Structure 1
Amino acid sequence: MAALDHLVVTARRLEEGVAWLESLLAVPLEPGGHHAAMGTHNRLLRLGNCEYLEVIAIDPHAPAPLQPRWFGLDGRAGPPSLTNWVVRVDDLDGALAVAPKGVGRIMDLSRGDLRWRMAVPESGHLPFDGMFPALIAWQGDAHPAGRLPDRGCRLDRLVIRHPDADKLADAVALDDPRVEFVAGPIGIEAWIQTPFGLRRLG
């Protein structure tokens, strides 16, 4: 089974990404943590019982990892933006066996008592020009979303744009009416329902 897990906003500096997203959505983000294996840190926002939004950036105080950082964070330029999405699967090995080349190798990761396995591309960039989702499998029942306060935000719609949208949709094979694959210039955008109305995140 595959399901949308979380959305990823990348930024050059974490505080810059947090300020941008909090201003856009008008709700506070919660503390996340550090990812020692990738040299990154994040802040989080709950989007539902098993979904959340993550702002992630390079941790300037962490040692550089042995491979390129995930989500193309090495050499990240420009303002904060939504750049990636992550799909949760029950069988990560099976999902990788049928996924496009370059989705990555499996890494066993942890933060506090959270444990997960994730496919991390060795280049730092995902297939289909970054529009293919990262694949994750949580270990045990613990999930970040369930530990975050509910600020009343929910994903309304997620649009993935790519010239080969049909091929991308077939490769992802996700049954979620909120997720749309549209032929066009490469990009990703989300509409988030907030207590203050619908906000576009791109």
Structure 2
Amino acid sequence: MTIQDAKKWIAVINDNVLENKAYLGELDSLMGDGDLGLTMTKGFAAAKEYADQSEETDIGKFFIRVGMAFLKAVPSTMGTLIASAFIAAGKAVVSSTELTEKNFCTFTKGFCDGVMDRGHCKPGDRTIVDVLYAASEAAEKAAIEAKSIQEIISAVNQASQEALEKTKTMFPTTGKALYHSDKAIGKPDQGAVVGMIIYKSLSQV
């Protein structure tokens, strides 16, 4: 995956988040403030703006700066988590000009770890981590099986979709959603939807 591919990825995430803006807001209104669609569209628009004009050749530094642009645009709780994901993932692959089968796994692990470290959450807590952790695990398994980068990305997308479905049966354990847990069952976690969109978008590039 080259930096040009990475730029396309950010652009597709931006498009998909914009398309799902109302849906994200609707889910968030059940569990929290209802502003998730707004903050995510604002954040990814800023990330795309940076990506479009970036001349960075180090793909790790590129993703770090994507995260910084995101954080500057939306310094909210979820904004900080998404920014932390990109920054941690970028740091994990810094000094690389592209993502290969091997360091893409490093990237996905860093992406998940960035959220877990910042948000102090873990798999099973009904958060975005449930999707990001499943994606990271799928990437590692596919790489061990010597799959191509395209096959790894496909596996990551499938794992993120399946993990998102599982959040429908989980009770919230953190944040404002704790106070609205009766509304959670049957609905996917709104943060996990964002995580799914991120990896689904990559599969579309």
Report TM bin, short chain.
Answer: 0.3 to 0.5
User: What TM-score does the superposition give when structure 2 sets the normalisation length?
Assistant: 0.33
User: Which structure's residues are more often helix, by fraction?
Assistant: 2
User: Which structure's residues are more often strand, by fraction?
Assistant: 1
User: What TM-score does the superposition give when structure 1 sets the normalisation length?
Assistant: 0.33
